[in-house]
Each structure stands twice: as C-alpha cells, then as structure tokens.
Structure 1
Amino acid sequence: MPRTLIRVDGSVAAQVEEALADRFAHLAVRTDAPTTVLTGRVEDPEELGDTLGRLTALGVGVLEVVWVPA
C-alpha cells in the first residue's frame, strides 16, 4: 500500500494540529507553511473517505491528496 500525502489549507492552529494528531494517529502531521501536510498509510478508499470527512468536520480545507509509491 502506498503512502498517502494529504495537504490541507493553511498552517493550522495549535489546537487543530493537536486534534489532527489525536484523530489521525496513523498520520504524521507537519506544518509546511503556508500549508499543513499529513502523511502515512491509508488502507483503503473507505478509510480515505473517513479521513477526509473528519478533516472537513474540523473545518480544514483539503488542497490535494497524493499517493506516494512505496
């Protein structure tokens, strides 16, 4: 399974970054101004949909999703 990179809009506030780290323990969260990048393994399309839905619920705008070959 390839690694997944999810780039979101803006440098998220500290409390949102904590929420991301708590809710997405399987993803590393890194601020790369002017965006924030989550990387890790997303096992299947359902998990990706759930992850994107959670980001939306947190008010985080997703800019791109990229699969990085292993």
Structure 2
Amino acid sequence: MRYDWAKAEIVVAVKGGPSVRVVGVDGCPGGWLAVAYDGRTFEPRFHPSFTDMLTAYPNVSCIAVDVPIGLV
C-alpha cells in the first residue's frame, strides 16, 4: 500500500490553512527522529529525548507518534 502524500497535503490545507504545522516522530537509536511539515516543506531533526522533542515544537497542531502496536 502506498501513501498518497498529495491527499495529506490537501487535508492539512483544509484543516487549518498553510500555516498549520504538524510533526511525525519515531523512536530511533539514541533518541527520536522528528519530521515537521508546514504545508510546504519537510524539516527532519533528531532529538535525544522525547521531552526535548516536545519542547522543540511548542506551536504545532499535532504530534503523531509511531507506536509499534504489535509489541504492545
């Protein structure tokens, strides 16, 4: 299954306009990889802790965390 990024961009635009900023995060060795998206550009960043990641994005509309459901 392929994700349709064009549709995701439309959803972001409809929900809050071009100034909406969302972040997706996933755990990785040594910390968390976060990718912020503002409707135009992607900005990847590494954060050594989850708390550091949260404080780096105080004004986002949503932070989506990848959770491996099969391991819960």
Q: Normalised by the size of structure 1, how large is the TM-score?
A: 0.30
By relative contact order (CA 8 Å, sep 6+), the higher-ranking structure is: 1
Q: Which of these two proteins has the greater Rg computed from alpha carbons?
A: 2
Q: Normalised by the size of structure 2, how large is the TM-score?
A: 0.29
Query: If each structure's strand is expressed as a fraction of its own residues, which one has the higher value?
Result: 1
